[in-house]
Structure formats: C-alpha cells, structure tokens
Amino acid sequence: MTPLTHPLTHLVDVNNPLNFKGYCQQKGYAAAKKVLFEYTPAEALDTVKSSGLKGRGGAGFPTGMKWSFLPEFEEDDPRAKEPKYLICNADEMEPGTFKDRLLLEGVPHQLIESMIIAGYIIGATRAYIFLRGEYHLAAKRIQQAIDEAYQASWLGNDIQQSGYSLELHLHTSAGRYICGEETALINALEGKRATPRAKPPFPQVAGLFGKPTIVNNVETLSNLPHIFAHGVEWFQQHAPESDAGTKIYGACGRIKIPGLWELPMGVSIGRLLNDHAGGMCEGLALKGLLPGGASTDFLLPEHLDVAMDYDSIAKAGSRLGTGGLIVLDDKNCPVAMVKNIMQFFAQESCGWCTPCRDGTPWALEILTRIEQGKGTLTDIDELYRLCDFMWIGKTHCALAPGAVEPLRSALNYFTDDFIQHIEEHCCPYQQRGHHG
C-alpha cells in the first residue's frame, strides 16, 4: 500500500461518500483485519504509544498513555469480566470548528474501522458514537455505515471470526456545548443532566455506568487505521520536527478561502492563513486570530511564524485547541467579537459552579455596556478580576477558563480599543462604518 500524504481525508466525499463496498475497494477495513489477526491488544497498544499520536479534540494528551490508564486485573479477579466502554466524542460544538463533520459526513466507514481497532486494543465490548444533535446528515451516514458493517460481520459477535466482539451504537446528543467535556458527555449518555463529574475517579477507572471507559475525539480515532497500515515511522515522518502525524486545520473569518486542510502537524500560522486560506480579503489587514476555536487566547500578526503544534502555540501564549483559526480583521471590532464569544459561553454554561454560572453572564453584561459606549474605565479592572475569578482551578471544569481566554488576551492586546469605546462613548468601528 502506497503511503498517503493526506490519510484522514484522501477518501472524503461529502456529496457521495463511499459505502461499505466502495470503502473496502480502497483497502478499507484492511488495517482492522491486520490488528485483529496479527496483534495482541498489548502489542497494538505499544504501537499507538510509539506512534506519538496525541488527542485531536483540544487537550493534546498522548492517546496511548490515556489508554494505558485502564485498570488491569488478574484473570481470576471478578472485575476482569466487567465490561469496558469506548466512546467517540463527536459533539463538535466549539465555535470555528468543523473538522470532525468533514470526516463524519465524508468518510463514515473510516470511523467505524477506527473504533473496531480502538475497541479491540482496550478490550471494549460496547462502543458509542456521541454525535452533535445538529449533525443530521452525519447521523444518517454514520448509521448507514454501522448497519452495513453489521451486515458484513464487521460489528457484532465474533467479528470476521477473530474472536473479538463489539456492539456499536449511535447516540445523537440533545445539545449543549458542555457535552464535549468527557464526563458531562458520559452523564448525558446515561440519561442524566449533562454536568461534568468531579475527578478523580477518571473515566478510565469509573466512567460510563461506573465501568472503565475511554473517550476519544473523531479525528484522534481516525488516525488508527493509517498508523497500522503504514507504520509508526511513516506516521512520525509527516512532521519530524513537531508532534507526529497530520492535522486537519481550519480557518474562517474574512479571508479569501475559508475551509479545511489536512497538513503535517506544525505548519506555521502564516502558511495556513496565507498559502492555504488565501490571506485576508481585499482591503483588510490581520488584527488578530484565535488559533484553535473560540476558547483560545488571541495571537497577533507577529505570531505568523509560530508552528501550529501544541508546544509552540503554548509558548506563544495560547492553545492549539481544535486547530481552527478564527480570524479578526482590522475593520471588525475586537470588543464586539469577544462579547459575541462570551454570549455563547454564558448561554452554554451548565450552571453547576458559581464562577461559570454567574461569571460568564456578568462578563457579558460588562462587555455589552462597553460595546454600547456606556462603560467606564473601572469596567476593565472588573473584567480582569472576572478573568481571575473564572480561571483554572477555581471552576468545576474547563468551560469558564476557556471562555475567559479570548477575553483576557483581548484585554491585553487590544487595550486601546476598549479604552476608545469608553472615552468616545460609542463603538469606534461602527462610527467609521465598519463592522461592530
């Protein structure tokens, strides 16, 4: 099999995705068969660890290491016979992010094959795809792929006479951004209110129905067939000076070519923005950008040479997150943009802890006053205080810290814009006929 440069997306067709027969004709399920018949679960886990695959959902935690946290029991221990669960987190609600939708709609069988491989490695007997409720087309195509896989004996009892069995179910979410947090997702899957759980215990020890559970993102899992088809060295060679493998990057805003591109991990922000997204629209200049969805810190034009990998973006003062650029141009108001983001997070807060439940609408109220020209200089101090009030370690989960990342960085980078709103008692961008 010839090694691929765009493994995750080379079979993507959002208009007419491959059915089971067509996917198999393109070597689909060959990697799953190889794993089931040529690897023990322990050997396959070592391969995932050696590959250096990191989670593509935002946190960037090493996938193999995460799986290794599952408890191991002796054969005569009753707990050894208890079920383990695998969950694919397809609840893609991060603003500015639509990479998983491309895979779900464009190559559904790739995810099914990926979950068979992951399930075999961790010893899961039941798996779930937890899908964003608004992804109606994805739901239709994923369910069709699941049905075809069952008919072809790639799901169910004794898959391909390998001795491994896996039941796979599609679960469409009732909504809410918080369901992207893995323990809130698990609660929702159990039919409970979607609020994050206290950790520890972590899901690997006590997850779905209190049993050991692994939750991974769509893009993360989709790497597995290609790692086993082409090898660890091939996977690492995509980005020898960065995190291993490829990444589906996105860009949106007033740029010439909004979209998605699968590129080697570590491509620079400037190359992504200018070479692939075509640069800014005519008459506009880059003012700033969020590098990984709405819950990341702003970066500036001076950061265009920064590599889009986890460590490099962190050193620049932000997070890679989902790898989806949200671009702010010089004719759009940064205060209005941050207010819009805060409105989303205030609406999506699960309300479980006080800093998030009360802090996000409080910040939204202040930002609204400033944007309307009714703010005071003390409001800026109050916003800084709220950023501290909602920061890491002071909330039940990461929603509130993510909400204040764009706010905190906007206060630091665009201070003059906030002050101008206050001193001129209006939005200067609206006064100049620009976007507020």
Q: What is the percent of the chain with per-residue pLDDT over 90, rounded to a whole number?
A: 89
Task: Please give the CATH architecture assigned to the domain spanning 20-237.
Answer: 3-Layer(aba) Sandwich (3.40)
Domain ranges of the chain: 20-237, 246-327, 334-431
CATH number attached to the domain at 334-431: 1.20.1440.230
CA torsion sign for 332, 336, 337, 338 is: positive
The HSE-up count of residue 232 (CA atoms within 13 Å, CB side) is: 12
What pLDDT does 162 receive? 97
What pLDDT does 434 receive? 66
- Determine what percent of the chain falls in helix, strand and coil, rounding each to the nearest 5: 45, 15, 40
Return the HEC string of 53-107. Answer: CECCCCCCCEHHHHHHCCCCCCCCCHHHHCCCEEEEEECCCCCCCCHHHHHHHHC
Neighbours of 357 (CB within 10 A): 17
CATH of 246-327, one of 3.30.1490.20, 3.10.20.600, 3.40.50.10700, 3.40.50.300: 3.10.20.600
Predicted TM-score (pTM) above 0.85: yes
Q: Give me the average pLDDT of each 10-residue run along the chain (436 residues).
A: 79 96 97 98 96 89 93 75 93 94 98 98 97 96 98 97 97 90 95 92 94 97 97 90 90 97 95 97 97 96 96 95 96 97 95 93 97 95 96 92 96 96 93 68
Read off the tokens for 221: 């899992």
Read off the tokens for 87: 């969950």
Q: What span, in angstroms and rounded, lies between the C-alpha atoms of 174 and 169?
A: 16
Task: For 156-189, write each residue's pLDDT tens digit.
Answer: 999 999 999 999 999 999 878 999 899 999 999 9
What pLDDT does 59 receive? 80
Read off the tokens for 74: 């002796």
